[in-house]
Homo-oligomer: A and B are copies of this chain.
Amino acid sequence: MATTYLQENQDRFLTELIDWLRIPSVSADPKFHGDVMKAADYLKARFEEVGLDNVELCPTSGNPIVYGEKIVDASLPTVLVYGHYDVQPADPYELWDSPPFEPVIKDEKIYARGACDDKGQVYMHVKALEVMKQDGAFPCNIKVMIEGEEEIGSNNLAIFVRENKVKLKADVILISDTGMLANDQPSIEVGLRGLSYHEVEVTGPNRDLHSGLYGGAVANPINVLCKMIASLHDENNHITIPEFYDNVAVLSSEERAELNRVPHSDDEFKRSIGLPDVYGEKGYTTVERIGIRPTLDVNGIWGGYTGEGAKTVIASKAYAKISMRLVPNQTSEEITALFQKHFAAIAPSGVTVKVKPHHGGEPVVTPTDSVAYKAAADAMETTFGKRPIPTRGGGSIPIVAMFKSELGLDTVLLGFGLDSDAIHSPNEHYGVFNFLKGIETIPHFYRNYAAPCRHSG
């Protein structure tokens, strides 16, 4: 049986993962380019070993995409698995307790850059295929597409997808690149927020001025920028941009009640990030503020004298990076236009303002009544002994919206990470429990997903 095979081979599975994690596949830094290629080759070989066909490194103008497939029966449904083999830079190295590319298992966790995000979660899929192969046959058609540029924006993935729609034809996308609530409380992300990101520049006088000789008689661009930013929220922390909320999907009280079933403690939340109090839009819980409400945050601000000591200057310019997280049915294009218009409109007459949009992403909500979602929820219920809760994460995975628009496919976010895994931070790790539980759960998903389709087919 699959579980026995998994138990018998779990040490080897961990050793293989550790070998892969040893390769520093940092996509952001050109000096690791050889290692990125090595990580791709390693993965290609593993997919070949577990019986996929047509395994190849598909070239892009950046790092290659590892592709492979097993078409067992054209009448069966097809699952397209997405993941990424590149990792975040590991610096600052000095904050790691053990070197980021010398993986160690400590307290039942694998410590290494990429242990969870996303090499560890991708490797669960490789080993799940091995388990299924050993168990007989694959229950449906499977395609895998693992890219090497997720941590630098996935720019070449969209081109690849657009140019390979026939090759990538499938019925659903399966991604393990997210987390769940806790090891004793499985959950599945069903919502992701979109993004509208801007850099703003406020110009007052045409040069820096002496604050004594001019102070009080000229618009200080820093004071003005603060006033403009402050005005973007009202006293209830609602965003004041006209029409901003017009397209925000309003959840029914049942849906909100369902959402708030998630185990969450404001006290625990505050403690985890050292905050004296929660904060946010009036009338919504913390879970709702993160999951279903749009936000506006300043991500950076600068202007004037920022060195040691005191300098009595009135700066000529002040800058800020301001981003909004979007929820269904806002679009980044719509919100970008509204923000630009409003920010220019609220500038007082003493200054000039520029708004430069950086990038956007669309919000997505995965249906919870689909065959694929149910297959994933049933799989988790089988292996965890507990029904997973659908959650709405606050982050953005722009490729999920891209898969929907380019391929017309919904995504199931079957992730096994935890918030505490420190992805993108020093001492990233992944629980051995989570890695093995993923390998155990994924085959159930395929079986569950294939079964009703087969009936209906």
Residues of A at the B interface (CB closer than 8 Å) are 193, 195, 197, 204-207, 209-220, 222-223, 225-227, 229-231, 233, 269, 273-281, 286, 289-290, 293-306, 309-315, 318-321, 323, 325, 348-352, 358-359, 393-396, 419, 424
Contact = CB atoms under 8 A, between A and B. Distances in A.
B217 A348 contact: no
Contacts of A195: 212, 312
A211 B323 contact: yes
Nearest to A222: B298
Contacts of A318: 301
A300 B303 contact: yes
A439 B420 CA distance: 75
Contacts of A218: 273, 275, 278-280
Contacts of A290: 213-217
A279 B219 contact: yes
A280 B217 contact: yes
A207 B273 contact: yes
A348 B206 CA distance: 35
A105 to B, nearest CB: 26
Nearest to A287: B217
A233 B321 CA distance: 24
B306 A300 contact: yes
Contacts of A305: 299-300, 321
Given A219-B275, A289-B217, A350-B279, A211 B310 contact: no
A214 B311 contact: no
Nearest 9 pairs of A and B residues by beta carbon: A206-B274, A212-B395, A230-B230, A300-B304, A216-B295, A279-B350, A219-B279, A226-B229, A300-B305
A347 to B, nearest CB: 10
A153 to B, nearest CB: 10
Given A226-B229, A276-B350, A212 B298 contact: no
A37 B367 CA distance: 80
A216 B352 CA distance: 29
Contacts of A325: 211-212, 215-216
A310 B216 contact: no
A427 to B, nearest CB: 13
Given A207-B273, A215-B394, 9 more contacts: A210-B395, A217-B394, A219-B279, A222-B297, A225-B226, A277-B349, A299-B305, A301-B304, A311-B321
A220 B239 CA distance: 14
Contacts of A299: 211, 222, 304-305, 310-315
11 contacts: A205-B273, A207-B273, A213-B290, A216-B293, A217-B279, A218-B278, A277-B348, A299-B313, A301-B306, A305-B321, A310-B321
Contact of A396 (B212, B277, B349): B212
Contact of A280 (B206, B216, B276, B319): B216
Nearest to A393: B213
A286 B230 CA distance: 26
A348 B279 contact: yes
A295 B217 CA distance: 9
A358 B312 CA distance: 11
A275 to B, nearest CB: 6
Given A219-B275, A230-B227, A394-B215, A304 B295 contact: no
Given A279-B350, A286-B217, A298 B226 contact: yes
Nearest to A266: B217
Given A204-B275, A223-B297, A290-B213, A312 B303 contact: no
A136 to B, nearest CB: 40
